[in-house]
Structure 1
Amino acid sequence: MTTTLPPTRRQLTVFALVLPALVFPSLAFAVSQGLDLDRLDEAPIAAQIAVYSGGFMPGIAGLAAWLAGGHGLRGFDWGFRRVPWRTIGVAWALPTLSIGLAYGLAWLTGIARFEPGNLVFGVHPAVGVLLGLVPGIVPYMVLSFGEQVGWSSMLAVRLSGSRSADVTALIVGVVWGVSHFPLMLMVPGGIKEGVPAAYALLWFVVETVALAYPLVWLRLRTGSIWPVLVLHATLNASLYSVAVVMTTATEHTAWFLGEGGALTSVCIATVVFATRPLWRSTPSPKP
């Protein structure tokens, strides 16, 4: 006798199967082409495309899971709803404060060296920071959209039907973090040399779980994907377009900074906890 999974459970099962089926072959191809994340721009274009395509795979898996529930794409909740600018500001401020706190402490304590002249914009460092944190988030929003269609518009929305927002955020955060393990473990440069893999993986999951709480709350309370995209994209921009560029590593920097760094993860968790009245009380979108 055969049994039919309930729609939501069937969707989650398909999501869990399709995502790794997409991720592993693309990473294996990139590695076979000699890709190293520390020298990404030196890799063949096809290998770079294979790695960057990983940003779209949660979204593809999410859409496949939605279709597996017997729904057409017209019924999929993309989340393209307007939200107040205050909400967008909160989403932008969370990662900006988190990364600023982490790297500021590292520069002050000597964990890393502050080198503002490394900014490549050819302008005053203050202007370079502003460019990186405002228009600089736009390219990252494209990749964030590919991820957050899966994490927010499918996984979070489906899970929230039978779980609280906090439990949903915990699950999304763990799955989001674990989904990056293949990249971190398979691709050279995914974990910095000298840093134990278990250490980096643990702190990366701490980071994704902490971020999942405002991401899930913003998505569920507003019904919109825009603040989620801004938060995710600003995190990447503040890291890779600003903080990392202005930093020269010392012997132990990799243990504390960057994704999988203890100080980065602790500061993100601290800022998320300290600002919880802001993202938990986010107003509903305009009709």
Structure 2
Amino acid sequence: MQLKRTQNTVLLYLIFTLLFSLVVWILSLNAPNAGRIAGRMFGYGIMWCPALATLVTLKLTGRKITDLAWGLGKPKYLLESYLIPLFYSLVAYLIIWSAGWGDFYNNTFVTSTAHEFGWDALPHWLFIIIFFVMNAVIGMFASISTALGEEIGWRGLLVPELAKKMGYTGVSLTSGLIWGIWHYPLLIFGNYNNGTPAWYGLICFTVSITAASFIYTWYRMKSGSLWTGVLLHASHNLFIQSFFTPITEGNIRSPWYIDEFGAVVPIITILFAIYFWSRRKELEQVAD
């Protein structure tokens, strides 16, 4: 009976995630020239589709939103969830800069961003430090507001449901692949890529996000809190998309190596995934 309920819950969640996402995909793909405002609206919209699907699924299965793992858990897991994406992003971009697949730093980006803040007189090195700190603190709140929408679904509902019938490795692979494939419409038909061939970007992104799922699932199961997933997700998006990638001066080889659609971040993330997989025996079964 429990297995059947789990299967129904997962199926309902995936169906509603697809239906709600379809609306935003169509709107996004119908606006190829979307600017800052429209892009932000579509971004928030798509990232909150999993949360909306979760609410509908819980309602149809007679459960409450309070059934999700809203407790914060141990502070050390929250801190680690914030720091780990920063660490693997830093390692990845140090490799990129050292190998010449991109350079530190993008003078045009730094100059224009400093101008937006009215800090043109600041030395670039000082502005980069201030910009990093502002991103790490203030930017984190904005990143959490979008990551929460996805994580209510992926780590709040999907991972615990899958954990009722499979182990850590199976949960990580299954949820990671579902999570990655969910991005495919915008990767294939939109401009959510580095400009490399679609097949290359898809491979890099899928490997990166599936490997990251091993980290997210480990912390979700270990901490008993969906907030670890929120912080991991928000930190990953924040540091890669809002700091390391824009701060990097690109060259002809950069699209093949930088960001989530290049080769370096997936490789580093795989190493982290292997590390957490080696610690899988520390996990206890997620409670119903």
TM-score by length of 2: 0.85
Q: State the SS of the aligned residue for 2:246.
A: coil
How do residues 1-287 of structure 1 correspond to structure 2 at under 5 angstroms? 6-35=4-33, 40-41=35-36, 45-46=37-38, 48-69=40-61, 71-74=62-65, 76-77=67-68, 79-115=69-105, 118-119=109-110, 120=113, 122=119, 123-187=126-190, 189-193=191-195, 195-274=196-275
Q: What is the CA distance between 1:168 and its match in structure 2?
A: 0.6
C-alpha displacement at 1:11, in angstroms? Answer: 1.4
Does structure 1 conserve the Cα–Cα contact (< 8 Å) formed by 2:219 and 2:229? yes
The alpha-carbon deviation at position 133 of structure 1 amounts to 2.1
Distance 2:93 2:45 in 1: 29
Separation in 1, partners of 2:174, 2:42: 27
Distance 2:24 2:72 in 1: 35
TM (normalized to structure 1)? 0.85
Matched residue type, 2:56: A
C-alpha contact 1:218 1:279 (8 A) present in aligned 2: no
- SS of the residue corresponding to residue 90 of structure 2 reads helix
Residue 74 (structure 1) shift: 4.8
Contact 2:17–2:50 (8 Å) recurs in 1? yes
The answer on whether the counterparts of 2:104 and 2:248 sit within 8 Å (CA) in structure 1 is yes
**8 Å contact kept, 1:97–1:271:** no
Q: Which runs of 5+ in 2 are unaligned?
A: 120-125
Deviation at 1:282, TM superposition (A): 8.2
- Give the conservation status (yes or no) of the 8 Å contact 1:90–1:279: no
Aligned partners of 1:87 and 1:282 also within 8 Å = no
Distance 1:281 1:238 in 2: 29
Aligned residues: 270
Percent identical among aligned pairs is: 19
How far 1:220 sits from its partner (Å)?
A: 1.7
